[in-house]
């Protein structure tokens, strides 16, 4: 299986109800658990948001400027589902075709909203809308995503030689991304990886792709002290951690 869509479809056939992403924010007490089915539903809605609402096409580039949060894997998956190439850092000479950001990115990206779609996530519990009005032209994901359909079928399906991630000007194809994930070493097949890294970053990308490709799951923890991390590791029956 060499595309994101194929990997996710296989999981939906085999293990639709098992946890895929579990998120803890110890600063707010938030805990969110996405099963394979729930994750797929979010990805479908986000895919439609990108393609149907904002006219992105296979081969376009999406800048994912999100912190460590459960919505980061959602938008990574949505991009790959639609055949978009993800950039996780600034790429000199390559402007993105759209941007998805969190509250901390508003000052930076709001000025670009007249040129490219800028989609902002409040990062509030349950993915709800921002409490305050957004800058002109910026789209609130917490408003727009809920009206999107629960399934997404691209009219131009991504292929394994489509670019999936671009880092420092070097593109990794979907085929290469998922082959590397399946052969990765962060966890064993079916394992649970506890990570404090941002999945939407070059160092943290594998903390999501490997669990997805190896029938595992990600436990993403933010704003926790060492004692809380250890407690969560035990409570979630994690089998590996990143950083090790």
| pTM > 0.95 | yes
Give the DSSP letter of residue 87: E
Contact 106, 138 (CB under 8 A): yes
Q: Could you read off the pLDDT of 62-120 as tens digits, one per residue? A: 999 999 999 999 999 999 999 999 999 998 888 999 999 999 999 999 999 999 999 99
Angle at the Cα of 49 from the Cα atoms of 44 and 51, rounded to 5 degrees: 95
Q: Positive or negative CA dihedral for 207, 212, 218, 222?
A: positive
- Examine the pLDDT at 159 and tell me if it is beyond 90: yes
Q: Could you read off the pLDDT of 28-49 as tens digits, one per residue? A: 999 999 999 999 999 999 999 9
Give residue limits of the domains in the chain. Answer: 4-242
Token pair for 27: 């600063």
Fold type of domain 4-242: Rossmann fold (3.40.50)
4-35 b/e with 16+ CB inside 10 Å = b? bbebbeebeeebeeebbbbbbbbeeebebbbb
Q: What is the pLDDT of residue 93?
A: 84
């Amino acid at each position: 299986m060499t595309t994101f869509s194929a990997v996710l479809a296989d999981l939906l056939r085999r293990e639709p109800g098992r946890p895929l992403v579990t998120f803890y924010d110890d600063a707010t007490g938030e805990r969110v658990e996405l099963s394979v089915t729930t994750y797929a539903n979010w990805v479908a809605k986000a895919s439609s948001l990108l393609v149907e609402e904002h006219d992105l096409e296979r081969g376009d580039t999406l800048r994912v400027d999100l912190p460590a949060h459960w919505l980061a894997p959602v938008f990574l998956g949505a991009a790959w589902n639609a055949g978009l190439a993800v950039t996780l850092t600034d790429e000199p000479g390559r402007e993105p075709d759209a941007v998805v950001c969190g509250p901390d990115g508003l000052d930076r990206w709001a000025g670009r909203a007249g040129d490219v779609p800028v989609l902002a996530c409040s990062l509030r519990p349950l993915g709800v809308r921002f409490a305050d009005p957004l800058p002109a032209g910026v789209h609130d994901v917490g408003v727009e995503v809920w009206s999107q359909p629960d399934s997404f079928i691209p009219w131009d399906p991504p292929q394994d030689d489509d670019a999936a991630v671009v880092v420092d000007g070097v593109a990794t194809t979907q085929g290469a991304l998922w082959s590397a994930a399946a052969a990765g070493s962060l966890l064993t097949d079916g394992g649970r990886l506890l990570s404090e890294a941002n999945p939407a970053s070059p160092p943290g990308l594998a903390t999501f792709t490997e669990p997805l490709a190896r029938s595992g799951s990600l436990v993403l923890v933010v704003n926790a002290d060492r004692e809380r991390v250890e407690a969560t590791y035990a409570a979630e029956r994690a089998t590996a951690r990143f950083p090790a």
